[in-house]
Chains A and B, each alone.
Chain A
Amino acid sequence: MLGLWIPIPMIDRGRIVTRSSPSRVRAAHTALYAPLGLSLLAAIPSSLAGQTATTPIVARIRPGAVEVLDSSGRAWKAVRTSGAWMTNRLSVSSRGRIAFLEWEPPIIEGVDQKVPPQPQLVVLEADGRVSAEISGGVQRYTWVDGDRIAVIRGKYREGNQFGFVPEGVSLLSLSAPSGARETEIVGVPEPVQIVFAAFDSSLYIRNARPIDGATVFRYRLADSSLRPTPVIQPNFSSSGRYYLVHDGPPDTVIVYDTSSHQPVALPDVQGVGRIIGWAPGAGDYLLVEKAQPKAPPKAPGQARIRVNTGPRTPPVRDYWIYDLGSRRRHASFRASLEDAVASSGSPVVKAAGKVESLKIQ
């Protein structure tokens, strides 16, 4: 029957369950499709049917929807619509699965949140089918492979620098048919960031505060061992030879050498460009935005902030791909950097009206 909900396996603190009562989000979803006589599957854009993980899946969040770029690179199709209070933390796995957090709103009493906003991690297949909805306060997550996700759980906290108060970290298997499939990773009491490093098949977990001098811990998947590391922030290049540290003024990013844990001097970049992040490829590539000419600061009393009434579309800028191996510019291009993610892990750009993930030869 059209409009029926397919039972969705739910992972709830170590076990997979099937939800019997629709959440507010699900109810809003049903309300949207039921009058049209459409099932969730019928809502999948036909243009996505042929896409595989070999063609990078590109996705973005828009108010009330998660959208996927069609094969033309010029049109977006909604694969998830909901009445969620907030949708964020979007990602696409290397196999094309789409994940994001959907939030139910806080309950306000007086001027405070009596009940904070509640997130659930939603996982869609590349074609838009829902494969899992994971409750229990997932605040951060990282794909380990196409089947496993590592998650940090915690409670939303208004005004908090991380946005939440951490409670724990664990590893989930999405394909397990039943039984306990959540493995808790013990030893990082205040996890605030987690990344999977393919170069050494490990999870790197950052604790909010140092423990015996270490802030970042390595969890080896092969033997489930946890060890402290001297890494400052776990944001590695493809090879793992470098990592990025965000510190100082908010836009300041520094490249560190993983063997020495010392900053790498990059005179070709510093002062003439701003490091945006990694551009995954065969080498250790940085995406750098060329510095914009800035209007001189106004004298005290002359500046007056005001409301920006212009569009919020990303500006067109000049970018470089900088090869850390050769310490040279590898390529340059002019485009806008889109607020979207790709299964390739590459930045998503728009040039000449077409959106695509960067491909570095």
Chain B
Amino acid sequence: MTKSVSMAVKALAGTGVIIAAVWGCSVDLTPDPDPGYDSDGDRISNAVETNPPNVRLYAFDPNVPNTNPSVSRGQTGSPPCPVQASCGWIDNAINLPDQHFGYYHYLGTDAVDTDDWGSLDLINEVEAIARKWYMGPFACMYPQASIPLGRMGVGDLSRGYEQTRNFGGSFYPDHRSHQNGLDVDIRFQWDDGREASLNLESADSLHYDAYRSVALMACFLYGGNDQSLGDQVTTIFVDTIYARINTDGETRIVHDVTHRDHFHVRIVDPNPYD
């Protein structure tokens, strides 16, 4: 489905959601855009299994159950990782497809497929939240928000080089963390659905959509109607003043003035003792 068609479908579905809300009905009218996203039920999506770097590295087959090859090693970066030390890495990292339902990956100044490697848990989290984001505010259980217009902008995960099979480690000069496939950067949302960088210190902030952006963070924290997704998230780093966030006692939101052009999501380490 082309982007314009998908947006039109979403707009119609969104109208339905508004009507439903007016009539006191909280039924999510927007269907999952990719209900068969994992046709062999192995917790690795078809999109990931057919993504060329993953096919070349792991010979994934979307019709045959595959095992998760990725293991996060070491610490997440800061703290307790010493300042600027490289103390985390990933065995057999998974590459995030460059775009799929509900999200796109932006490169910054990085080369293609060098900044978007992660643990399978992180890749699954990004894909799952993006699908819910695509499905609208009821899927994210944040009905105060208007209908999502812009896809989720996904930035850096961890470093990786397919040729050398070297994944994670120091992400100099960009990050102290992002070392073992558990961290991901997400752009703030524009009020017109634009899919571009948005710096809250700049004039762009006039177009910052606090409701959509907070709804997206809430989707990560609470997972919409799937609390297990929300339980995956340990921390979101963001400048709460610039991003206009009332944390309401949510201790997983950490105010950080270095996060004014994105928010940073960290998930649970599935291998904390490795």
Contacts and interface: CB of A to CB of B under 8 A. Distances in A.
A73 interface: no
Nearest to B258: A161
Contacts of A309: 244
Interface residues of B, number: 56
B257 A250 contact: yes
User: Looking at chain A's contact residues, is the secondary structure mostly helix, strand, loop, or mixed?
Assistant: loop
B246 A108 contact: no
How many of chain A's residues touch chain B, expressed as a range? 35 or more
A305 B185 contact: no
A61 B153 CA distance: 29
A120 interface: no
B108 A157 contact: yes
Given A210-B84, A249-B254, A298 B172 contact: no
Interface in B67-87: 78-79, 83-84
Given A63-B203, A159-B156, A250-B257, A112 B107 contact: yes
Contacts of B197: 106, 108, 112-113, 158
A38 interface: no
Contact of A162 (B173, B204, B248): B173
B38 to A, nearest CB: 26
A33 interface: no
B262 A308 contact: no
B104 interface: yes
Nearest to A339: B241
Interface in B207-240: 210-211, 214, 217-218, 221-222, 227, 231, 237, 240
Given A85-B202, A305-B214, A157 B172 contact: no
A50 B262 CA distance: 43
B118 interface: no
B274 interface: no
B173 A111 contact: no
Contact of B201 (A88, A300, A302): A88
Interface in A133-186: 155, 157-163, 165-166
Contacts of A44: none
A111 B104 contact: yes
B249 A306 contact: no
Given A159-B156, A248-B79, A251-B255, A304 B248 contact: yes
B246 A308 contact: yes
A63 B204 CA distance: 11
B247 A303 contact: yes
A215 B202 CA distance: 31
Contacts of A215: 83-84
A11 B245 CA distance: 41
A302 B251 CA distance: 11
Contacts of B109: 116, 155, 157, 165
6 contacts: A106-B197, A113-B197, A159-B185, A161-B174, A215-B83, A296-B249
Interface of A: 63-64, 84-86, 88, 103, 105-106, 108, 111-113, 116-117, 155, 157-163, 165-166, 190, 192, 208-210, 215, 232, 247-251, 295-298, 300-309, 312
Q: Which 8 A-B pairs have the closest CB atoms?
A: A86-B202, A303-B250, A298-B249, A308-B246, A250-B256, A307-B210, A303-B249, A111-B106
